[in-house]
Amino acid sequence: MVAEPVVILGAGHAGVGAAAALRDEGFDGPVRLVNGEQNLPYQRPPLSKAFMKGEVDAGGLVLRGEGFYAQRGIELLHGKAVRIDRHQKALRFQTGATLSYGHLILATGSRQRRLPFATDGAKINYLGSLPDAETLRDRLTKAKKVVIIGAGFIGLEFAAVALQMECEPHVVEQSDRLLARSVSPLISSFFEAEHRRMGVNIRLSRTVVGIRSCGSEFELRLSDGLAMQADLVVAGIGTTAEDSLAIEAGLPCDNGIIVDSDLLTADDSISAVGDCTRHPNKFVPGGLARLECVQNALDQAKAVARRLTGKKAAYDAVPWFWSDQSDLKLQIAGIWSNCDRFAVRGDLSDRAFSVLGYDRDGRLKVVESVNKPAEHMAARKLIAAEASIPIDQATDKSIPLKTFVASP
């Protein structure tokens, strides 16, 4: 059994998930959850979606109501840790206070990557936290022309919202396609066509190389020499793991705290879960992965709680993710870069279809569904089972994908 107390650093999806899972698994020792933010722990995905549109307020984002923590015997502490003292088995805080742990779970998440050049006093917006989203939402209501740097999920979700708010969104992306890191080329082209049709201006294969403010406006310089004006600039150019305390404490890190398949770091008194980990993952090419999604945070949290209560732990869940852009719901199960061949199930023109990706041995490795939630649910099971379904059958719309899921 684990040494007590269990201290969890970071109260996002992974940290709150780990605290709840410890209680679900029957752990009855002290659980101390350190929240580095002012608000009650909240969900991040709606920040670029419903919250940005004004459909939910901050109260609607909370992961668990205030009473939950007291009811489950989880001490919710506020504070920013500045050091892990492995020798003393204690966290040190900005205030000078310390907190001892028997076992420490790091759930420190990730931080938004900053633009790599000085912006001459111009206020660039990033979208990683509730305070970021509150500021951005307020500025969006006053903006007309918006430049979004980066065509990843956050950038495109924000572009779709900006359009709904009657702004003129311009997206600048260094890659030659949208969402290049995360989806197959087929899905990239579909989303590019859809965004252009809706009225998002997209410039691919170029970067923003300079920004300066001129009064209430910004002037941006692009790598192809073009100058653009905007009254709001948002950068969504990826994240890096929040692993700075782990590095300083001498734990092996590589843009992510290195953990084994049990989510244990090199120190057997410290585990790590969520966005901050680089972990073994059989579904990801190369074997070691840092994933940034709610599924990974929650499934790792449950796995670590099982291990700390003496049960089976190894983390081997199929990665999955979703994104909402205008009326398009994209759901992804698996990883596209595993694949040699892709096939479409359904018709792109219906705006409801799935892209199926196969590896060279004919195994289904990814399913990217647009407005097809039932196919996404079946896909998660098929990918977990490493199913080999003949392409002609898998793409036959008259056979529901769930037909291929073996009964237990």
Ligand X SMILES: Cc1cc2nc3c(=O)[nH]c(=O)nc-3n(C[C@H](O)[C@H](O)[C@H](O)COP(=O)(O)OP(=O)(O)OC[C@H]3O[C@@H](n4cnc5c(N)ncnc54)[C@H](O)[C@@H]3O)c2cc1C
Q: Residues in the site for ligand X, rule: CB under 6 A?
A: 9-15, 34, 36-37, 44-45, 47-48, 80-81, 107-110, 127-128, 154, 242, 245, 274-276, 292-294, 297, 321-323
Q: Which residue is nearest to ligand X (CB)?
A: 12
Q: How far is the CB of 45 from ligand X (least distance, A)?
A: 4
For residue 14, CA distances in Å to 51, 109, 148 come to 21, 8, 29
Which residue in 120, 112, 127, 114 sits closest to 221, CA to CA? 120
Relative to beta strand 145-149, strand 74-78 is unpaired
Nearer to ligand X, 173 or 292 (CB): 292
In order, the DSSP letters of 61-118 are GBSS-HHHHHHTTEEEEE--EEEEETTTTEEEETTS-EEE-SEEEE---EEEPPPSS-
Least distance to ligand X from the beta carbon of 275, Å? 4
Looking up tokens 């938004």 gives 112
Q: Which is nearer to ligand X, 12 or 334 (CB)?
A: 12
- Quote the least distance from Cβ 311 to ligand X, whole Å: 22
Q: How far is the CB of 199 from ligand X (least distance, A)?
A: 22
The CB-of-47 to ligand X minimum distance in angstroms stands at 4
368 CA to centre of own chain: 16
Give 126 or 404: the residue with its C-beta nearer to ligand X: 126
In the chain, the amino acid numbered 308 is L
Q: Which is nearer to ligand X, 46 or 357 (CB)?
A: 46
CB atoms inside a 10 Å sphere around CB 81: 22
**Residue 281 Cβ, how far from ligand X at the closest point, in Å?**
14
CA distance 320 to 353: 17
Tokens of 300: 């790792």
Tell me the closest approach of the beta carbon of residue 246 to ligand X, in angstroms. Answer: 10
For residues 11 and 151, which CB has a smaller minimum distance to ligand X in the complex?
11
Of 160 and 228, which CB lies nearer to ligand X in the complex structure? 160
For residues 278 and 404, which CB has a smaller minimum distance to ligand X in the complex? 278
* Shortest distance in whole angstroms from residue 145 CB to ligand X: 22
CB closer to ligand X, 45 vs 357:
45
**Long-range Cβ contacts of 376-385 (<8 Å, 24+ apart):** 376/320, 376/331, 376/333, 377/402, 378/402, 378/404, 378/405, 379/333, 379/334, 379/354, 380/318, 380/320, 380/333, 381/405, 383/283, 383/318, 383/333, 383/334, 384/317, 384/318
**DSSP E strand boundaries for 139-198:** 145-149, 168-172
